[in-house]
Chain A
C-alpha cells in the first residue's frame, strides 16, 4: 500500500480573471507533491463543488480578488454540506478586507492567505492541517 496523496482543487470562482495567484499556488502545490485539480477561470460555486465531489479532493483553495468573496465562500460551504461532503476543507487566498476575513472564518473557511504569504508557509499549513481521507 502506497502513501495516500493529498488532492487539492484550486479554483477561481466568480468573474474576475486575475489568475496569477491561483496558477502560482497550483504549481507550488504540485512541486510540494500534491495532486492538484485546476478548474480554471469563471467558475460558479455549483461548478466548483461538483468538481470537488467527482475528483474526491481533500481541500478546495479558492482565489478571489474582486470583492464577491462573502457570497462565493458561503455558497460553496452550503453546497458542500448539501452534497454531504462537508469534510472537504475550504481555504481561500486573495484580497479581503480585515473584517471580512473574520466573517469568512466564522462561516467555516479553515484558512485565509493574504497576498505576500510565502508559498512555503501555505504548503506547511496544508501538510499540518490536511490529512488525506481514510479509505472506504
Chain B
C-alpha cells in the first residue's frame, strides 16, 4: 500500500492527510492502521495536561527545543475544544510553537475535540500511531485544557505531566479530587510568580498522603516528582526533560512490573474502547440510514408509546440485524 510506505518513510504530506482521514472516520482508515501497527512502539509518548492559561503550549515549545538539541525527532498533537454551538474550532496552540516551524523533524498537528470528552479526541490514539510509525522519537500530546476530567491522556502517554501555576488554591482542590493519580510529574510553571512555595508544598503534601494511602501492591510504583519552570524564558525545561527521562528509565528498569501492569490495563481499555466505538458507530449508522428513529418518534407522538419501550424494541432489532 502506497500510503503505508510513504508514512513509514516519514512523508509529511501523506501522514498529514491520513491523519485527517482518521479524524473524519473514513472507511479505509483501519486497514492502514493495521499495517502501521507493527511499526509502532518506538516513540516515547509524553502527555501534557492542566488548566487553560498555565502555559502548556509554551512548555511544549520549550520541550521541542530540548528534544531537538539532542538530535531527536518529535511529533506534537495539540488539542483545542470544538464549539458545541457551531461544530467549528479555533486551533491556536501552534502559535506558541512556531520557533521550529521550518524543521522537518518537528511535526505539529492540531486537532479539535469534536464532542469527545476526556481531554483528547477520538482520533488521538490513531494519530499517535501514525507519528510513531513515521519514526518520531518523542510524541508530545497536549490536552484541551478545560477542566479536571482530563485523565484520558494517561492512557496514551508513558509520562504524564500536570502543569500548574502558583496561586491556584481552589484548583488544587480539584486536582486532589480528580487527577492526582494521573500525574507522573507535576510542573509548576510561571515559577517566578508569588505563591510558588505554597503551591509546591500543597502538592508535596498531596503526594505524600496519596502514597501513604496506597495499598501494598502499588508501592512499587513511581513517586510523582515536582518540577519548577518558567517556560516563557526556557528556565527549568532542560531539567524537566531530564526528569522525564528518569521516569522513562524507571518504567523500563526497576519499575518494569509496574509498567507492564499499567500497560495491560491500558491496552485492555483501549481494545474495549475500539470495540465499543466500532459497534456503536456501525449501529448508529444503520439506525440513521434506516429512518427508524423518526418512525419511532412518530409512534411516540401518535400512538402514545413510551420511549423506554421504543428503545428496547430498536436495540432488539439492531442486534438481530433487522435494521
Our verdict on whether A and B bind, yes or no, reads: yes
- Interface residues of chain A, those whose CB is within 8 Å of chain B, are 1-2, 4-5, 7, 26-27, 29-40, 43, 46-47, 50-51, 53-56, 83-85, 133, 135-136
Known interface pairs A5-B87, A83-B13. Does A136 touch B98 (Cβ–Cβ under 8 Å)?
Answer: no
Residues of B within 8 A of A55 (CB): 16, 91, 94, 109-110
Q: What CA separation (Å) do A84 and B86 show in the bound complex? A: 32
Q: What CA separation (Å) do A40 and B90 show in the bound complex? A: 12
Residues of A within 8 A of B21 (CB): 135-136
Question: Is there an interface contact between B89 and A133, defined as CB atoms closer than 8 Å?
Answer: no
| Shortest distance from the beta carbon of A100 to any chain B beta carbon, whole Å | 27
B:230-252 near A, CB below 8 Å: none
Contact of A30 among B3, B13, B20, B83 (CB under 8 A): B83
Contact of B102 among A7, A46, A136 (CB under 8 A): A46
- Interface residues of chain B, those whose CB is within 8 Å of chain A, are 3, 12-14, 16-21, 24-28, 32, 82-83, 85-92, 94-95, 98, 101-102, 107-110, 112, 285
Whose C-beta in chain A lies nearest to the C-beta of B91?
A37
Residues of A within 8 A of B285 (CB): 1
Q: What CA separation (Å) do A42 and B238 show in the bound complex? A: 27
| Shortest distance from the beta carbon of A136 to any chain B beta carbon, whole Å | 5
Contact of B109 among A46, A54, A133 (CB under 8 A): A54
Residues of B within 8 A of A31 (CB): 83, 85-86, 88
Apart from A32-B86, A35-B112, A136-B18, list 20 A-B contacts with CB within 8 A. Answer: A1-B24, A5-B24, A5-B88, A26-B90, A29-B88, A33-B86, A33-B87, A33-B88, A34-B88, A35-B91, A38-B91, A39-B94, A47-B102, A53-B16, A54-B16, A55-B91, A83-B13, A84-B13, A136-B26, A136-B28
Known interface pairs A5-B24, A133-B17. Does A50 touch B88 (Cβ–Cβ under 8 Å)?
Answer: no
Residues of B within 8 A of A47 (CB): 98, 101-102
Residues of B within 8 A of A27 (CB): 90
Residues of B within 8 A of A35 (CB): 82, 88-89, 91, 112
Question: Is there an interface contact between A1 and B83, defined as CB atoms closer than 8 Å?
Answer: no
Residues of A within 8 A of B18 (CB): 136
Residues of A within 8 A of B16 (CB): 53-56
| Shortest distance from the beta carbon of A16 to any chain B beta carbon, whole Å | 17
Known interface pairs A47-B101, A56-B17. Does A1 touch B27 (Cβ–Cβ under 8 Å)?
Answer: yes
How many residue pairs link A and B with beta carbons under 8 A? The number is 102
Residues of B within 8 A of A84 (CB): 13
- Could you list 7 A-B pairs, sorted by A, with CB under 8 Å? A26-B90, A30-B89, A31-B88, A51-B108, A53-B12, A136-B3, A136-B32
Q: What CA separation (Å) do A30 and B87 show in the bound complex? A: 8
| Shortest distance from the beta carbon of A59 to any chain B beta carbon, whole Å | 14
Question: Is there an interface contact between B24 and A30, defined as CB atoms closer than 8 Å?
Answer: no
Contact of B90 among A30, A46, A51 (CB under 8 A): A30
Contact of A39 among B3, B13, B32, B95 (CB under 8 A): B95
| Shortest distance from the beta carbon of B68 to any chain A beta carbon, whole Å | 15
Q: What CA separation (Å) do A131 and B323 show in the bound complex? A: 32
Residues of A within 8 A of B90 (CB): 26-27, 30, 36, 38
Whose C-beta in chain B lies nearest to the C-beta of A41?
B95
Q: What CA separation (Å) do A30 and B20 show in the bound complex? A: 18
Q: What CA separation (Å) do A43 and B94 show in the bound complex? A: 12
A34, A54, A83, A85, most chain B CB atoms within 10 A: A54
Q: What CA separation (Å) do A5 and B95 show in the bound complex? A: 22
Residues of B within 8 A of A51 (CB): 94, 101, 108
| Shortest distance from the beta carbon of A117 to any chain B beta carbon, whole Å | 19
Question: Is there an interface contact between B107 and A54, defined as CB atoms closer than 8 Å?
Answer: yes
A5, A46, A84, most chain B CB atoms within 10 A: A5
Question: Is there an interface contact between B102 and A1, defined as CB atoms closer than 8 Å?
Answer: no
